[in-house]
Amino acid sequence: MPRWIVRCPECEKEFTHTPIDKALGITRDVFASPPKPEIPQSGTESTCPDCNKASTLRAFDLRYRAERNREALPHTSSPSLSAWTLVY
Ligand SMILES: [Zn+2]
């Protein structure tokens, strides 16, 4: 499922903030991302499932992950993507 992810400032692990419903995730452009979830300007509290530390998230902390990330990106052997594969 496509999702909005955030990176925990404590342990650097990425975790899902908001799963995106398939109906919302469908767009004509596969590289386009759906609208971000509403986050107040002052941020929102979120607890990392890995280290259980609560941190304040801002809208710009959110990153979009498409379900078919590996197929969608042309550089499947890039170091960053390899790192991503290791995380999951
Ligand atoms: Zn953490």
Structure confidence by residue, pLDDT tens digits, 31-76: 666 778 888 989 999 999 999 999 999 999 999 888 665 544 454 4
Report the distance separating Cα 45 and Cα 54, nearest Å. 6
| CB contact at 8 A, 6 and 57 | yes
Residue from 39, 15, 41, 36 nearest 25 by CA: 36
For ligand 1, the distance from its centroid to the CA atom of residue 82, given in whole angstroms, is 20
The reported pLDDT for the residue numbered 32 is 66
For ligand 1, the distance from its centroid to the CA atom of residue 87, given in whole angstroms, is 13
For ligand 1, the distance from its centroid to the CA atom of residue 28, given in whole angstroms, is 34
Q: Which of residues 68 and 10 earns the better pLDDT score?
A: 10
Would you mind telling me the total number of residues written for the chain in this entry?
88
